[in-house]
Amino acid sequence: MPAEKSLRVAVPSKGRLQEAAVELLRGAGLRFRTSGRRLFAECSDSGTRIIFCNTADIPVLVAEGVVDLGVTGSDQVAEKGVRVETHRRLGFGRCHLAVAVHKDAPYTSARDLAGKVVGAKFVKLARDWFTRHGVEDVHVLELQGAVEVMVLLGLVDAIVEIVETGSSLVENDLVELDRVLDAEAVLIGNDRPRDRAARDRLIRRIDGVLAAARYSLLEYNCPRSRIDEATRITPGYSSPTVQPLGDRDWLAVKVMVEKDAVHAVVDALEAIGCVAILETDLRHARL
C-alpha cells in the first residue's frame, strides 16, 4: 500500500483520452504499468498512485479530495459544476458540444426547439444553454450511449451531443444547429493535495511536456553577413544560440521555433542563404 500522503492522480479508464493522459504522465517522468481491467497503478519510484476511472467521475473525485489531480474533459467539469481548479489546458481531446437535428427537420435555429424534447448526455449544460438563449419549455431527456440514433427512432426531436470530427452526425443524417461550448482535456486539482510539493513538481514536469509539444529545435548554418536577418526570423524563446564555425564566414544557430511555424521559418531562412537546416523534436522543455 502507498503512504497515505502519496499523491493520487485520476485518469480516464479507457479511450483516446486515456491513451493521451497516460502518455502525458509518462512523459512527465511517472513510471507505471497499465494492465487490463486493473483500476490503479503505482509508481514505484515516487509512490504516486494512478487511478483509472470513468471520465465523468473525475471532477467529483478531485473536488471531494479522493484524488489530488485528474485529467478529464473541460465539458465534464462544467457539467458536474463542482469546485475544482483547472491547472492546465492540455491541448488534446478537443471537441465541441452541439445542438443537432435531422437534416430534413423543419428547425432552422435552436429557438425552434421551444416545447420540444431534446436528448443529451450533458443535461445540465444543455438546460443552462437553452435557458441562456431564451428557449423555453424544452424537455431535456438524459440519454447515454448512441444518442444520435434516438432522433431517427423518434424518441427526441434533437440532441445535444459531443462532436469531434462530425462524421457520426453525417452517418446518422444529422446536422448542427448551434454550438454549445468548446472543450478539451484539462488537468484539474483541489486546494488540499496530500503532498503539495509533489503536486507542484508534477505540474512543472507536465509543463515541460506541453512546452516540448509546442516547439521544435531548429539548427542551421547562416552566412555571417545575414545573421541579423536570421535572428529576426528566429528570435527564439529568449534568444538564439549563435556559435562560430571553422569557416569565419559562417555561424551555427540553434533556436526553438513553434511547430506550427517551422515550415514558413525554414522557407524564410533558405531564402536568405541559410543551409544545413535541421528540425529536431523535443521531449521536454522547461521554459
**Are 107 and 156 contained in the same domain?**
yes
Q: Give pLDDT < 70 ranges for the chain.
A: 1-4, 36
Name the strand (E) or helix (H) holding 20: helix 15-27
| Predicted local confidence at residue 3, as pLDDT | 52
CA pair distance 226, 207, nearest whole angstrom: 34
Which domain range does residue 84 map to? 8-92+185-194
**Are 53 and 190 contained in the same domain?**
yes
Asked whether residue 3 is domain-assigned, the answer is no
Choose one of 136, 161, 183: the last residue of a domain.
Answer: 183
CA pair distance 24, 260, nearest whole angstrom: 20
| Predicted local confidence at residue 1, as pLDDT | 44
List of residues 6+ apart from 66 with CB closer than 8 A: 8
**Are 57 and 76 contained in the same domain?**
yes
How many residues does the structure list for the chain?
287
CATH of the domain at 153: 3.40.190.10
CA pair distance 136, 237, nearest whole angstrom: 51
CA pair distance 109, 100, nearest whole angstrom: 10
C-alpha cell at 68: 489530488
Number of domains in the chain: 3
Phi, psi of 189 (to 5 degrees): -155, 180
Asked whether residue 1 is domain-assigned, the answer is no
The conformation of residue 170, written as its DSSP 8-state character, comes to H
**Are 32 and 55 contained in the same domain?**
yes
Contact at 8 Å (CB) between 2 and 47?
A: yes
C-alpha cell at 198: 509533489
**Are 65 and 105 contained in the same domain?**
no
CATH of the domain at 225: 3.30.70.120
**Surface-to-core class of residue 164, CB atoms within 10 Å of its CB (0-12 exposed, 13-18 middle, 19+ buried):** exposed
Strands (E), 75-116: 85-89, 95-102
Asked whether residue 151 is domain-assigned, the answer is yes
Asked whether residue 174 is domain-assigned, the answer is yes
C-alpha cell at 247: 569557416
Asked whether residue 210 is domain-assigned, the answer is no
Choose one of 164, 183, 202: the last residue of a domain.
Answer: 183
The conformation of residue 204, written as its DSSP 8-state character, comes to H
Asked whether residue 287 is domain-assigned, the answer is no
| Predicted local confidence at residue 54, as pLDDT | 94
Asked whether residue 209 is domain-assigned, the answer is no
**Are 48 and 124 contained in the same domain?**
no
Q: Which residue has the cell 493535495?
A: 193
**Are 178 and 112 contained in the same domain?**
yes
| Predicted local confidence at residue 40, as pLDDT | 83
Contact at 8 Å (CB) between 180 and 133?
A: no
**Are 48 and 119 contained in the same domain?**
no
CA pair distance 219, 246, nearest whole angstrom: 16
Neighbours of 124 (CB within 10 A): 14
**Are 189 and 241 contained in the same domain?**
no
List of residues 6+ apart from 47 with CB closer than 8 A: 2, 3, 6, 7
| Predicted local confidence at residue 46, as pLDDT | 80
**Are 141 and 77 contained in the same domain?**
no
Asked whether residue 176 is domain-assigned, the answer is yes
CA pair distance 114, 168, nearest whole angstrom: 25
